[in-house]
Structure 1
Amino acid sequence: MYYYPDRVEVYSLGLSLLWISVEQMERGEVQSKPRNPVLANLLRDVLAIW
């Protein structure tokens, strides 16, 4: 995890979601489903305060 003044970047070696295309994401056809809900919730809460 890298913290910058204007963003937070998370580096993950997890598998890519090969069944989802970039075009589908751009059109908003894909709903977010965190692979790690605990980390996702933690980041949501931290970023809400930040």
Structure 2
Amino acid sequence: MTLPTITVDLLDSKAKQTQKRQLAKSLTKVLSETLGYPDKEITIIFKST
């Protein structure tokens, strides 16, 4: 089974770690509510370019 993964590319980002955590929490909640995956099965990856 393939688990859901979201990759977030932050271009020239000045996002703080706390902001990234909040974004990951929000994305996880939406994906879980929309597609029915348990939170623990969702992976959020942040990339800074």
Normalised TM-score (structure 1): 0.31
Q: Which has the higher strand share?
A: 2
Q: Which has the higher contact order (CA 8 A, sep 6+)?
A: 2
Normalised TM-score (structure 2): 0.31
Decide which structure has the larger Cα Rg and report it. 1
